[in-house]
Amino acid sequence: MVRSSVLGYPRIGVHREWKKALEAFWSGRLGESGLHEELQAIRLDHLRRLKEKGIHLIPVNDFSYYDHVLDTAVMFGIVPRRFGYTGGAVPLSTYYGIARGLKDAPAGEMTKWFNTNYHYIVPELDGAEPVLTENKPLLAYREAREKLGISGKPVLLGPLTFLKLSKGYAERDTDAWIGRLLPLYVQVLRELAEEGAEWVQLDEPVLVTNVSEADVQRLKRIYETFASAVPRIRIMLQTYFESLEHYRDIIRLPVQGIGLDFVQGGEGNLSSIRAHGFPEDKVLGAGVIDGRGIWRAPLSGKLKLLRELSEFVSPERLIVQTSCSLLHVPVTAKGETELPAGLKNALAFADEKLEEVVLLARALADGGAADDAGLEAADLALDLLQRSPERSRGDIQQAVAAILDQPTERSPFGVRQTEQRKKWKLPLFPTTTIGSFPQSAEVRTARQSWRRGEWSGEQYAGFIRGQIDRWIDLQEEIGLDVLVHGEFERTDMVEFFGEKLAGFAFTRNGWVQSYGSRCVKPPIIYGDAAFVKPMTVEETKYAQSRTPRPVKGMLTGPITILNWSFVRDDLPREEIAYQLAYALRQEVEALERAGIGMIQVDEPAVREGLPLKEAEHAAYLAWAVRAFRLATCSVQDTTQIHTHMCYCDFHDMIGSIEAMDADVISIETSRSHGELIGSFETNTYRLGIGLGVYDIHSPRIPPVEEMTSMVERALRVLEPGLFWINPDCGLKTRGAEETAASLRHMVEAARIVRAKYEGKAGALLP
């Protein structure tokens, strides 16, 4: 028998029940016992789905109350000291405090999970004394068995990856930390073995990155310890997102199975197996179904790949599975009835991917004859999509080819800076925001009324103008120097533009988790992307008419639209990025013609698209920078181009950020401020820059002194005349009162620092 498996399933529920439960608990509308009951119901429903679909190895402990990396940390009692944890099971209040912050304790740092749009809470090891507070995988295993009769496959983040994702320790202390963690992992595994668990999935995705020889030796130490201490448990050492590094070393480890990604890492992993074979004493978890994309798999081709793998691994030692957790895709495509039939028929979300896994496992076991119809249906659906006219727009392809032949250089920054100073006459340390302001229930209700046809277009436009009026007045009263219109007409920063560009489609319920309870509904880029008509001019021009202060036009950049969408897979991503850049260039020019002299083209997702292999970094960054410059290079010297980035470790790409040649970049840094400042101690940055001075993802209102300290620390290594002061990110998810209070503190901090620097030598006005 060929077995089937998945590495994890979406947490959020078909209708985002998970999100609603969390937010009800945080607001006090749901008690702790009620939260546990609602989340258990969601969790058990997930397990039933997997069982009913026919998955053999069903993951448990992939569910989370917020984030699986945070779960691992608190399971081992690794809680930042500022939260006053004194031992035992970590209270839910502390758990969510780490995730979201408390009044007197900032939240833990949040950053990207490898090269995905999921964010995890970074464990802080400094001062921690790890101890097993509760065996979460064991509890999940028991629940599945007792409630549903499922003998699940517990999922746990592996020790090496956990350490590599953590901070607060020196590299020289890595081995000591492994020594602290190993006994705890052994205890978890031993208790699972005693309970009857057969397989445990230990996720080590760090092994697809450029790990060192020292780390390979550490890995050997870890898994030899497990083999010796817990010989009864069967370990699936699971990797994903790319091909395995140090293949020959890893396959010799004393584990019973190794999971490889044959989608994102297909070429590399298959080459390794062809060159070096696969051990006869191990099971191969063949990740052939894409856990990150939303297209149906070309099943005939996947079956051909599995048959080739069967030449190296006998069928009874082959597990057909997803390439990674299905956390990164929506739950089901079943209800997407409003999409064109040709497009809908080519989609596969989580539930449909379960069916693909089971179908391939069955086809491989019986030679494929029994499932020929299913295989052919998938191939036909993809062929019909490929032949659609939306994928062959000659006008767009020719226009993009022509613009790629043009230079992307603007005048030198010094020339532009001089002209912009004359025009704008801003004070030292100008203050601004990232773009969005709180979207109240009133705003959301108005949008729904308009979308349902209950409001006319003019009625809705009048409502939006009223919101702009209110927040322009408030920004002026608070004392901000550069204003924004607030983005009240927008749902999501990518979805909004996708709805107005050709080549995009939208789902009704295609939600995925981004961070915490924050879910996004990525657009689908299925055809050639193209500009149709101005998208942001009306609201921005109106806002500018309401104030003598500059109002920024707000756009989402080509790389972020690319990386935050589900993208067609028949073209290189680079080509799609250039199509998007050409469309946005036309919008930038329309804003400038309308009199908007500051235009922010946000690129928060540049870093997350960075390939996991260092050898591929330069090529990606080159075309990402080129796309941004294509979108922004045609403006006048007096037009100031801004951009924004977030949740990134920038030290190894500061050169590329500077090459984007934006006049001002704002960077989300409040949760990792010190680390980024360290980058500028060794890397000079010569353009305008604003480092976020407070964390907008936390409900706390930081005091003026805290923000002032952040600014002064940054000014030790950054040029005062080029420094801007702003929040970390957009303010859409925050409340109006806390937003106003935080911005007042920020403006006061700017005034304090401005008073210290004005008149000093070298403090050049921006």
- CA-to-CA separations, 156 to 8, 261, 710, in angstroms, rounded: 11, 18, 36
- Give the C-alpha separation, 584 to 587, whole Å: 5
Which residues is 156 bridged to in the sheet? 202
d(CA 486, CA 484): 5
Q: How far apart are CA 741 and CA 743, in angstroms?
A: 5
Average pLDDT in the chain:
93
State yes or no: 695 annotated in a binding site.
Answer: no
Q: Tokens 């950053």 sit at which residue?
A: 111
Q: What is the pTM of this model?
A: 0.90
Instruction: Please report the pLDDT score of residue 668 as a whole number.
Output: 77
**Cβ neighbour number for residue 357 with a 10 Å cutoff:** 26
Q: What is the pLDDT of residue 685?
A: 82
pLDDT, tens only, 582-619 = 999 999 999 999 999 999 999 988 888 899 999 999 99
pLDDT in tens, 180-222: 999 999 999 999 999 999 999 999 999 999 999 999 999 999 9
Q: Does 199 show up as a binding residue in the annotation?
A: no
For residue 492, report the phi and psi dihedrals to the nearest 5 degrees: -125, 145
**Residues 323-341: tens digit of each pLDDT:** 999 999 999 999 999 999 9
CB 260 within 8 A of CB 269: yes
pLDDT band at 733 (very low <50, low <70, confident <90, very high): confident
Distance CA 265, CA 185 (A): 28
Give pLDDT, residue 466.
96
User: For residue 456, what are the contacts with CB-CB under 8 A and spacing of at least 6?
Assistant: 450
Going from the C-alpha of 758 to that of each of 489, 549, 616, 755, the distances in angstroms are 39, 21, 45, 6
Band (pLDDT 50/70/90 cuts) for residue 675 is: low
Cα 6 to Cα 39, 148, 348: the distances in Å are 21, 18, 15
pLDDT tens, 426-462?
999 999 999 888 888 899 899 999 999 999 999 999 9
| Domains located in the chain, CATH noted | 1-54+239-388 (3.20.20.210), 57-194 (3.20.20.210), 414-757 (3.20.20.210)
- Exposed (0-12), middle (13-18) or buried (19+): which is 81, by Cβ within 10 Å? exposed
Helices (H) then strands (E): counts for the chain = 27, 21
Determine the residue type at 329.
V
pLDDT in tens, 120-168: 999 999 989 999 999 999 999 999 999 999 999 999 999 999 999 999 9
C-alpha span between 41 and 604 (Å, rounded): 35
User: What's the confidence (pLDDT) of residue 573?
Assistant: 97
> Is 17 within any annotated ligand binding site?
yes
CA distance 187 to 758: 60
Query: What distance in Å separates the CA atoms of residue 54 and residue 694, rounded to the nearest whole number?
Result: 48
For the CA atoms of the chain, what is the radius of gyration? 26
**Angle at alpha carbon of residue 393, lines to 387 and 399, rounded to 5°:** 150
Token output for 425 = 């006459």
The pair of three-digit structure tokens given for residue 261, joined into one six-digit string: 């990604």
- What confidence score (pLDDT) does residue 368 get? 58
Percent of the chain with pLDDT over 70: 96
Alpha helices in 387-515 (DSSP H): 394-403, 413-424, 441-451, 457-478, 495-498
Cα 172 from chain centre: 30
> Would the annotation count 436 as a binding residue?
yes
Secondary structure (DSSP) of 532-580: -S-SSHHHHHHHHHT-SS-BEEEEE-HHHHHHTSEE-SSS-HHHHHHHH
| Tokens, residue 606 | 């540049």
CA distance 132 to 188: 8
Is there a binding annotation on residue 737?
Answer: no
What pLDDT, in 10s, does the model give residues 617-669?
999 999 999 999 999 999 999 999 999 987 556 667 888 889 999 999 988 77
By CB atoms closer than 10 A (0-12, 13-18, 19+), residue 407 is exposed
Cα separation values, 617 from 52, 117, 571, 614, Å: 42, 18, 19, 5
112 in a known ligand binding site: yes
729 is an annotated ligand-binding site residue:
yes
SS3 153: strand
758 labelled as ligand-binding?
A: no
What span, in angstroms and rounded, lies between the C-alpha atoms of 660 and 272? 37
* 676 — pLDDT class (breaks 50, 70, 90): low
Residue tagged 């729904």 (tokens): 448
- Ordered DSSP codes for 292-359: S--BPP-HHHHHHHHHHHTTTS-GGGEEEEESS-GGGS-S-STT-TTS-HHHHTTB--HHHHHHHHHH
HSE-CB of 138 using CA atoms within 13 angstroms = 18
Round to whole Å and give the CA distance between 599 and 643. 8
Q: Is 726 annotated as a binding residue?
A: no
Q: Evaluate if residue 49 carries a pLDDT over 60.
A: yes
Least confident of 305-314, 528-537, 642-651: 642-651
Percent of the chain with pLDDT over 90: 84
Instruction: Choose among 651, 224, 761: nearest CA to 667.
Output: 651
Contact 599, 635 (CB under 8 A): yes
Tell whether 393 is in a known binding site.
no
- Cα separation, 411 vs 395, whole angstroms: 30
Task: Give the mean model confidence (pLDDT) for residues 555-576.
Answer: 96
Average pLDDT score over residue span 352-360: 97
Write the pLDDT tens digit of every residue in 74-119.
999 999 999 999 999 999 999 999 999 998 898 999 888 999 989 9
338 is in an annotated binding site: no
Catalytic residue among 119, 485, 642, 697: 697
Q: How far apart are the first and last CA of the chain?
A: 69
For 307-342, give one letter per residue: b (16+ CB within 10 A) or e: eebbebbebebbbbbbbbbbbbbbbbbeebeebeee
Q: What are the structure tokens assigned to 711, written together?
A: 């600014």
Which tens digits make up the pLDDT trace of 533-544?
999 999 999 999
Torsion of CA 469, 473, 479, 484, to 10 degrees: 0
Residue 760 has pLDDT above 70, yes or no: no
d(CA 76, CA 392): 54
**How far apart, in whole angstroms, are the C-alpha atoms of residue 522 and residue 735?**
24
171 carries a ligand binding annotation: no
What would the DSSP string read from start to end of 619-645? HHHHHHHHHHHHHHTTS-TTSEEEEEE
Angle 450-455-460 from CA coordinates, rounded to 5°: 70
pLDDT for 174 = 96
Three-state DSSP at 440 gives coil
Q: Kindly state the average pLDDT of the residues 743-759.
A: 92
Residue 761 pLDDT exceeds 50 = no
Residue 334 among known ligand-binding residues: no
pLDDT over threshold 80, residue 679: no
Active site residue 56: no
